[in-house]
Amino acid sequence: MQGRMDQTYPRIYVERTLALIKPDAIHKAKEIEDIILKAGFIILQKRKLQLSPEQCSDFYADQYGKLFFPSLTAFMSSCPIVVMILARDNAIAHWKSIIGPVNSIKTRETHPGCLRAKYGTSDLKNALHGSESFHAAEREIKFMFPNSVIEPFPSREATEEYLSRSVNPTLLHGLTELCKNKPLNPCIWLADWLINNNPNKPQICDGAIVEAE
């Protein structure tokens, strides 16, 4: 029992990324989704749709002006695609490592185990897409899932600073009082104590809320 109490667990910071199964790999969608799940991802949202050339141009706006841009938008609007929001720890980097480099032909030599080597056929028809960065993922998820609510992820340092400043002092006080009182139902007692002693709770006096200075 003591060993179990002393056991520590790694902290997991969940991240989201956007994944696309492109027209050239759409017939392998179920197989690819199984690989995604086995890699530890959760598929938060999924939809199958066909983009117009205009929508493809908007989605790939950062590639505008490059020689392959017309071919890219024509290819991506030629057939339906599968769009997914994937989540796990370090999702963006992990999904990029699984799908591999952009050029599927070169990837077969340099990264033969990745998904683009297996399902892609060229630099353009490379089967899959993954967000390049957190900000790219945020923009792409909003583009493909307009109603999706995307909350910013606080850094580890910001989270620990918030807990140290705003949570731990009150919680420690509550646990100390819990040990002193030794109630029959400690969970309910502590919950009530935290509600009544919430430092952010508005003070009400004679029916009027007193604002903190």
* 192 domain residue, yes or no: yes
Distance CA 87, CA 44 (A): 7
Q: Note whether residue 122 is domain-resident.
A: yes
Is residue 117 within 8 Å of residue 110, measured between CB atoms? no
Asked whether the beta carbons of 53 and 46 are under 8 A apart, the reply is: no
Residue 129 annotated as catalytic = yes
Report the domain count for the chain: 2
Residues 49 and 91 in one domain: yes
pLDDT tens for 87-109 read 999 999 999 999 999 888 888 88
Same domain for 137 and 160? no
Comparing CA positions, the residue from 47, 92, 46, 53 lying closest to residue 70 is 53
Residue 138 neighbours by CB under 8 Å, 6+ apart:
150
Mean pLDDT of the chain: 86
190, 175 Cβ separation under 8 angstroms: yes
On whether both 167 and 114 belong to a single domain, the answer is no
Residue 2: inside a domain, yes or no?
no
Pair (89, 178) in one structural domain: no
Report whether pLDDT(121) > 70: yes
Closest C-alpha among 26, 154, 45, 20 to residue 95: 20
Q: What is the spatial distance between Cα 120 and Cα 133, in angstroms, rounded to a whole number?
A: 22
Three-state SS for 152? coil
Question: For position 169, which CATH number holds?
Answer: 1.20.890
Backbone angles phi, psi at 208, to 5 degrees: -115, 140
Label residue 51 left, alpha or beta by phi (over 0 means left) and psi (-120 to 50 means alpha). beta
Q: Which domain holds residue 87?
A: 16-144
**What would the pLDDT profile of 106-119 be if each residue is shown by its tens digit?**
888 899 999 999 99
Residue pLDDT, tens place only, 40-98: 999 999 999 999 999 999 999 999 999 999 999 999 999 999 999 999 999 999 999 99
Q: Does the pLDDT of residue 212 top 50, yes or no? A: no
* Residue 97 domain-assigned (yes or no): yes
Q: Are residues 55 and 33 in the same domain?
A: yes
Tokens standing for residue 43: 């598929």
The CATH number of residue 55's host domain is 3.30.70.141
Q: 112 and 20, same structural domain?
A: yes
Q: Please name the helix (run of DSSP H) or strand (run of DSSP E) that holds residue 54, with its range, or none.
A: helix 53-59
Task: State whether 94 and 167 are in the same domain.
Answer: no
Say if residue 26 is in the same domain as residue 131: yes
51 and 131 in a single domain? The answer is yes
Catalytic residue from among 94, 111, 129, 135:
129
Contact assessment for residue 124 and residue 67, using Cβ atoms and an 8 Å cutoff = no
Of the chain, the percentage scoring pLDDT greater than 90 comes to 61
CA distance 206 to 183: 32
DSSP string, 97-156: HHH--S-HHHHHHH-TTSHHHHH--SSS--SEEE-SSHHHHHHHHHHH-TT---PPPPPH
